[in-house]
Structure 1
Amino acid sequence: MKVFKLLCMIVLTALTGACTSYKKVPYLQNSETVDLSQLPKSLYDAKIMPKDLLTITVNTTDPQAAVPFNLTIQTPYGLNGNNYTTTQPALQQYLVDNEGNIDFPVLGKLHIGDMTKSEVEGMIREKLQPYLKEVPVVTVRMVNYKISVLGEVSRPGTFTISNEKVNLMEALALAGDMTVWGRRDNVKLIREDSEGERKIVELNLNDAEIIYSPYFYLQQNDVVYVTPNKQKAKNSDIGNQTTFWFSGTSILISIATLLTTILMNN
C-alpha cells in the first residue's frame, strides 16, 4: 500500500507540474476583464526619428510643375566596358539628421523630427502652395522601418515593416512565435528615443492589459528579446525539445513499471 501511495504521489506531482507550466504559456489570459472602451480611438501613427530614411513625392495635374520637388538619382546597374549602365531613375531618399531635419528641394531645411507622416505631408503641402497653381498631393514613406526579434522565438531576425505599423503580437508572428521555452511574462523591449536615450522595458504578455501599454505598438528600430525560462537554462545542453520530453516520459514509465512489479511481488 505504501508503494501504491508513492506511485500516486509521483503521478500527481507530474500532472500538477504540467498544469502549472501550461498556465504560463497562453497569451492574454484575462482578456474577459479588459475594458476595450478605454483604448484610444485614434489609430497608431509612427513618428519620424533621426536616421529615418524617407521618400517624399509631390504630384500635381501638371507633372512639369512638380519636377523640381521630385529629385531623382541614377542607380548603378552594371559595367559595360568602362561605362556604367543604369536603371530607371529612382527617387532621392532623405536621411533625417540627428536634429530631426531634412534638406528639401526649393524649400530648404525642414524640421520634421517627432512628427507623423501625415503632419509632414500637411506641412510640405502648405509650404509648396506659393510655388504651385494648385494644391499638390504629397506622399511620405519610411524606407527603413524595421524591428528585430531575438531570443526564444522560432525564427529570430530583423524584419522590415512595409505598412510602418506593427504591435508586439505581430512582431512575434513574424518571428514564428515564441518557443515553449520563452517566458511570456518577461519579454524585454529595447528602445532608443529621438534624444538617443536607451531604455529596457519588461512586458508581460500573459496579461491581457498589455494592450493598454504605450509599448504595445513598436517603433522603428525596436528590439524585442524573449527571455528563456528556467527549464531552458537548466537544460541548455539539450538541443532537441522532443528528445527531452521523450526521455522524461520514458523515465516516468520505467519508475511506474518498477513500482508496479514490486507491488505485485509483495
Structure 2
Amino acid sequence: MHTRLIILIAFAIGISACTPQKKVLYFQSAENAGLPIYSPPENEVFALKVVPNDILLVDIYTLNPEALPGFTQNLERPIVDNRTAYEKGFVVDEAGYIELPLIGKTFVSGLTLTETKDTLANRLKKFILEPTVTVKKMSFKLSILGEVGKPGLYYVRNERVTFSEAIAMAGDLSDFGNRKTVKVFRKVDGKIHQIPIDLTTQNVLSSSGMIMHPDDIIYVEPVRGKRFNNISPGLGLFTSILTTTVVVLTFIINQSRP
C-alpha cells in the first residue's frame, strides 16, 4: 500500500513539472482572432523601398571633394569612417523627407533605393561636380523567434533576403521546432497577415524562395514533446531520488515478506 502511494506521488510530481503547451506558445490571441492568410505572389518582384523612420546611409563621391570637405569623398581615396551606421545615417522623418546638407529636405518615402539615389544625385548636381551617390537602408530588420538555433533581431545588409536565408541566419530550426506550423507575420496594407509554411512538404521549395519584407516576424512553434523537457534540474534530481527510494523500499518489503 505504501509503495503504491509513493509511486503515485512521484508520478504526480513528474506531471506537474511539465510546462503546459499553452504557456510556451507565442501569438495565441492573434491566432485565435483568425488573422487573414496571405499568399505571396509566385516569382515576386521585390524592390526595397524607403518608408518613414528608415535610417539611410548616404555616401556622396565627387571628382572635386576639396570643394566640400567632410561632406563628399574622393572616388579614388574614400574616407575611413568608424562611426556606427546610426551615427552616419540620415533618418527619414514621419512625413517621408530626408534632410541633407546643401539640398535640404527631399521627399523619398515610397521610392526604391535606386530612385532615391537618382533623386539625390540630380539635386546635388547644382552644387557638386558630377556627384556619385550610394544609398543603403540600414534599418532592414527581421524578428526570428521560437525554436531556432539563435532567435533574435537580425539586420539585413543586402537589399533582399529569402525565407530560407533568414532561417539559416538564425541557425536553422532546433530539434524541438515544429516543421509543420512555421508562420511569417507580415503587415500588408496596414493590417497584420500570417503566412503559414509547412517545411515537410514539397511546397517549401517555393516557400523557401519567398522574399522577406522589412519588419517580418518568423515564428517557429515548439513540438508538443518539448514540454516534457522543461523540468527544472532540481525537481528532476528530486524525482530521481524519489524513484530510487521507491525501488529500494520495494526490494526491502519484498525481502521481508515470509
State if a TM-score over 0.5 links the two structures.
yes
Which shows bigger deviation, 121-130 or 195-204? 195-204
Post-superposition shift, 1:151? 0.6
**Is 1:177 aligned to residue 172 of structure 2?**
yes
User: Amino acid of the residue matched to residue 102 of structure 1?
Assistant: I
Residue aligning to 1:93: 89
SS at match of 2:215: coil
CA RMSD of aligned residues (A): 3.4
Distance 1:89 1:161 in 2: 19
Query: Shift of the alpha carbon at 1:122?
Result: 1.2
Partner of 2:48: 46
Residue of structure 2 equivalent to 1:59: 61
Equivalent residue in structure 1 for 2:215, among 205, 216, 221: 221
Partner of 2:108: 112
Structure-2 change in CA distance of 1:207 and 1:63 (3 Å): farther
Deviation at 1:238, TM superposition (A): 5.4
Task: Tell me the SS of whatever aligns to 2:179.
Answer: strand
Distance 1:47 1:207 in 2: 32
Match in the other structure for 2:119 = 123
Contact 1:59/1:66 (<8 A) preserved? no
Maintained 8 Å contact 1:68/1:105:
no
Determine what percentage of the aligned residue pairs are the same residue: 30
SS of 1:185's equivalent? Answer: coil
Give 2:147's match in structure 1, choosing from 131, 152, 168: 152
Q: Counterpart of 1:183 in 2: which secondary structure?
A: coil
Q: Is the 8 A contact 2:180 2:200 kept in 1?
A: yes
Deviations for 1:147-197, whole angstroms, at most 9, x for unmatched residues? 12111112211222222432111111121111232222321212346x754
Higher strand share: 1
The normalised TM-score by structure 1 is: 0.57
SS in structure 2 of the partner of residue 148 of structure 1: strand
Q: How does 1:1-266 map to 2 (within 5 A)?
A: 39=43, 44-67=46-69, 92-134=88-130, 136-192=131-187, 197-210=191-204, 212=206, 216-232=210-226, 235=228, 237=230
Q: Quick one: structure 1 residues 207 and 138, their matched pair in 2 at CA, closer, same or farther if it must change by over 3 Å?
A: farther
Aligned equivalents of 1:70 and 1:180: distance in 2? 51
State the shift of 1:88 in Å: 6.9
How many angstroms apart in 2 are the aligned matches of 1:120 and 1:158?
26
Shift of 1:141: 1.5
Residues 64/153 of structure 1: CA separation in 2 closer, same or farther (3 Å cut): same
Structure 2: which 5+ runs fail to align?
1-41, 74-80, 234-258
State the match for 2:13 in structure 1.
none
Relative to 1, partners in 2 of residues 1:208 and 1:139: Cα closer, same or farther, differing over 3 Å?
farther
Asked whether the equivalents of residues 189 and 223 of structure 1 are also in contact (C-alpha less than 8 Å), the reply is yes
Aligned residues: 184
Q: Distance in 1 between matches of 2:120 and 2:221?
A: 44
Structure 1 Cα separation of the partners of residues 232 and 175 of structure 2: 13
Unpaired segments ≥5 residues, structure 1: 1-37, 72-86, 241-266
Q: TM-score, normalised by structure 2?
A: 0.59
- TM-aligned CA distance change 1:224 to 1:111, over 3 Å: same
